[in-house]
Structure formats: structure tokens, C-alpha cells
């Protein structure tokens, strides 16, 4: 099988392009159904988060797509068409995409699971996102033998990286990064009012960070009152008193914006829920007083043009990176340890895969020789007196063991090699297994 990863992330593509490629769970299901039907015997998984959209595939080496990957011309355009369909808007964007194959694909996945490829190095949310992506692939019958070993192994690697190193300790959370941006613009937050829109995980973390800085006044907007109440319960510290108001998302938006000093938005809407026109109206009522808006959603909740309005400080998910990057140098040694864990686990994974492919060949060879030995022994024992039958049996066993010793040892040696190619495994099976 040809294993590949195709996609883009916060390192290779701006937010505008990432949000175009961002897929909701429903959209991912439709894409999985379509691409799985394109190539028989293929396996697929889609990982779409705020900072990346990646397509993981295992496809037969004999498929047209796999053969085209080895052509001199760039295969990225063909992959774009394969995964998202022919769209002229995606033309000429090859520089923003990456393609990893075989061992490099495994390495990339293990680094993603370990939080080493995240905007916030060492963050743990990616583990949940990978689990959800694998569950969605399984639900849609898009995973097979390869992925059922690869992705659970990736999750084990992610756990090992975090338990064997302190890579996750001291990392700035998205909430802390958002807090720093807010304080850069507003100063002390005591007495300020925050508007929380949506109930995303990052929004909750940000709200908790705000409370720790003595911000106590909140307006919570959500599509349902139940979700808004759940958000308030989640962010409230034990024994803490918050001045909180719940407002339906479909009403009172402009009034809620006008009374806020800080807006944190993190919904799953596919279109902006706050327009530049909304913000313009709000700022006229506020006499252009400072308004910090932190848009944590992908696709974005706030029209980018809102940031050009007087008094507005608009930040998005990419702006968090500026705060986060300054925190990496202090954890450089832990990063190196984590990379070494990834390297070793790649070897372990390929060793396991080789065992799965080669061990049946070894077992069949041993069983086949034993069948032949018994057949010949059965027809020969009648020529020997009964008291010699056991000795003849032992002699034939020793003879067969000596004859088979060298090919078995060679097969075990091949099995223990890292990364047997599909052609090499196919040759071994053709040589030793029955048709």
C-alpha cells in the first residue's frame, strides 16, 4: 500500500486559505464517502482542525493515483482534485500544500499526535481530534487493516511523548495567549465586560484565563440557553461569583457588542456571524472606545474588515502564534527528546507491520514442510519394524529442521528489516504461499 498525507497547516497556509479548506464533521463524512469510492481497497481519514486540514490515505500501489505520484510533474494539483474535487479556486496554490509518503507520512502523523507540529507545541487537544477523526473514518467504513494499526499506534506515541518528556509543561495555552493579546490592548481587566460567543473548548479556556485576571462580568451568547448555561458552569471557579447574562445568539447581538470591552468568538458557523457593518454600528454608539475582538473560529466568525474600524483590535487564531512562539526556546531540550521518541516508535511500528506480513509466510513454510514429512513418513514406516518407527520419526524431523533452518532464518532476518516495500512483501508471498 502507498501511505500518504496531503494537506496544509498553520505553517504553510494563511488563515484565509485554511478556512476555505476547513471541513465540518458532516463535510468530512461526505468527502470520505466520495474518495473511498474512487479507489477500491483504499483507506482514508480526514483531520480538520483550526490549524490544519490533512487527508491520510493508504492506496494500492497499482492504482492510477499511486503511479502518478512518481511522475516528474507535481502531483499536488491531482491530489487537490482527488480530495476536494476540481475547483478553479484551488489552482496555483501548490506552495501551500505538503505531501508526505510512506515512512515520512508515518513520521508526520506521529509528530502531529505528539503535539510537535502544533501551533502550541505539546498541546493535548490534538489527541482528542485524532481520536474523533479515526472514529469518523471507522464509522464510514473508510479504515482497514493499515489504519487500524497506524492510528492507535499514533495515539500511543502521543501519550508516550507527553509522559516521557515535559514537553506539555509550561506551554502557553490558547486561552493564555488570547489573554495576553487582550491585556496588550486593554491593560488591566478588572471591571471590564467580556462577551463570549459560542461554546468551543478554546473559548472556555480563554474565559477561565480572564477570570483568573479578575474579570467577572460576562455576557454569554449561544444558539441554546442550555449550552450557554453549561459554558458558565464550566468556566466558573469553585466558590466564585460571576455577573453573567445569557443572550440568545439570534437576538440582541449589537446591544451585547456595544456593552462589551472584549469579545471572544468560537462558533462552528461556516459564515461570519458578525459583519463589519455590525461593528461599525457598535463603534458609533461607543464613540470608538477600545474594543478587543478575539476570533478563535475557523472559518472565521468575524469579517476581517471589522479590524479596520476605529477603536477595534481584531485578533485571529494566527495572531496567537506570535505570543506562543516566544515560549518555545525554553523547552528546546524536551523537543529533542520527543523527536527521538518519534524516531524510535517509527522503527517499532514498521517492525510490527513486517511481522504481520512475513509471519504468515514463515508459518506456512513450516506447516508445508511438516505436511510433506508426515506424508512421506506414513508411506515409508511400513518398511520398518514397529520398534524403529520412533527413531525414523525423529530422524525425519531433524532432517526437515536442518533443511528449513536457513530459509526460515533468512525470512526472520527480512522480517526484522525496517520498511519492507509492498513489492518485496508481494514477492515473498508469491514465492512461498499457495495461490
Of 112, 78, 113, 80, which Cα lies nearest the Cα of 96? Answer: 80
Residues 301 and 269 sit within 8 Å (Cβ to Cβ): yes
- The DSSP secondary-structure symbol of 237 reads P
Strands 291-295 and 262-265: parallel
* CA–CA gap between residue 51 and residue 7 (Å, rounded): 11
What φ, ψ does residue 264 adopt, rounded to 5°? -120, 120
The DSSP letter of residue 383 is G
Total residues found in the chain within this entry: 435
Mapped onto helix, strand or coil, the DSSP state of residue 193 is strand
- How far is Cα 265 from Cα 321, in angstroms, rounded to an integer? 17
Cell numbers for 384, please give them: 520398518
Cβ(196)–Cβ(244) below 8 Å: no
Q: Looking up cell 482542525, which residue turns up?
A: 49
Question: CB within 8 A of 312, min separation 6: which ones?
Answer: 279, 283, 291, 293, 306
Sequence-separated (6 or more) residues with CB below 8 Å from residue 125? 201
CB 327 within 8 A of CB 216: no
The single residue of 8, 13, 47, 50 carrying the catalytic annotation is 50
Are 290 and 261 in contact by the 8 Å Cβ rule? The answer is yes
50 among known catalytic residues: yes
Supply the residues annotated as catalytic: 50
Amino acid at each position: 500500500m502507498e501511505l500518504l498525507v496531503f494537506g496544509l497547516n498553520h505553517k504553510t497556509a494563511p488563515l484565509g486559505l485554511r478556512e476555505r479548506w476547513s471541513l465540518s464533521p458532516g463535510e468530512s463524512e461526505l468527502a470520505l464517502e466520495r474518495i473511498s469510492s474512487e479507489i477500491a481497497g483504499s483507506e482514508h481519514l480526514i483531520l480538520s482542525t483550526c490549524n490544519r486540514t490533512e487527508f491520510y490515505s493508504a492506496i494500492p500501489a497499482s492504482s492510477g493515483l499511486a503511479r502518478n505520484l512518481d511522475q516528474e510533474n507535481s502531483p499536488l494539483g491531482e491530489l487537490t482534485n482527488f480530495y476536494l474535487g476540481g475547483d478553479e479556486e484551488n489552482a496555483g496554490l501548490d506552495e501551500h500544500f505538503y505531501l508526505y509518503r510512506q515512512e515520512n507520512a508515518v513520521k508526520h502523523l506521529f509528530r502531529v499526535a505528539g503535539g510537535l507540529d502544533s501551533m502550541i507545541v505539546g498541546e493535548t487537544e490534538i489527541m482528542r481530534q485524532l481520536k474523533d477523526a479515526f472514529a469518523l473514518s471507522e464509522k464510514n467504513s473508510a479504515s482497514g487493516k493499515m489504519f487500524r494499526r497506524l492510528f492507535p499506534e499514533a495515539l500511543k506515541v502521543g501519550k508516550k511523548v507527553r509522559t516521557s518528556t515535559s514537553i506539555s509543561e509550561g506551554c502557553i495555552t490558547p486561552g493564555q495567549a488570547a489573554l495576553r493579546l487582550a491585556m496588550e490592548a486593554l491593560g488591566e481587566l478588572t471591571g471590564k465586560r467580556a462577551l463570549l460567543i459560542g461554546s468551543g473548548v478554546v473559548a472556555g479556556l480563554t474565559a477561565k484565563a480572564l477570570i483568573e485576571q479578575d474579570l467577572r462580568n460576562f455576557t454569554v451568547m449561544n444558539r441554546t440557553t442550555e449550552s450557554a448555561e453549561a459554558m458558565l458552569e464550566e468556566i466558573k471557579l469553585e466558590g466564585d461569583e460571576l455577573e453573567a447574562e445569557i443572550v440568545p445568539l439570534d437576538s440582541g447581538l449589537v446591544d451585547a457588542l456595544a456593552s462589551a470591552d472584549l469579545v471572544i468568538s468560537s462558533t462552528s458557523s461556516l459564515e461570519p456571524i458578525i459583519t463589519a457593518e455590525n461593528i461599525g454600528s457598535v463603534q458609533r454608539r461607543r464613540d470608538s472606545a477600545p474594543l478587543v475582538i478575539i476570533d478563535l473560529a475557523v472559518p472565521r466568525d468575524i469579517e476581517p474588515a471589522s479590524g479596520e474600524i476605529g477603536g477595534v483590535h481584531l485578533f485571529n487564531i494566527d495572531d496567537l502564534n506570535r505570543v506562543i512562539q516566544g515560549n518555545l526556546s525554553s523547552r528546546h531540550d524536551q523537543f529533542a527528546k520527543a523527536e527521538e521518541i518519534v524516531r524510535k516508535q517509527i522503527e517499532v511500528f514498521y517492525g510490527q507491520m513486517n511481522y504481520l506480513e512475513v509471519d504468515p509466510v514463515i508459518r506456512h513454510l513450516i506447516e508445508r514442510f511438516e505436511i510433506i514429512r508426515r506424508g512421506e513418513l506414513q508411506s515409508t514406516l511400513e518398511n520398518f519394524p514397529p520398534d524403529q518407527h520412533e527413531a525414523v520419526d525423529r530422524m525425519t524431523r531433524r532432517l526437515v529442521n536442518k533443511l528449513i533452518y536457513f530459509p526460515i532464518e533468512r525470512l526472520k532476518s527480512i522480517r526484522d528489516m525496517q520498511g519492507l516495500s509492498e513489492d518485496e512483501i508481494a514477492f515473498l508471498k508469491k514465492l512461498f504461499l499457495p495461490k
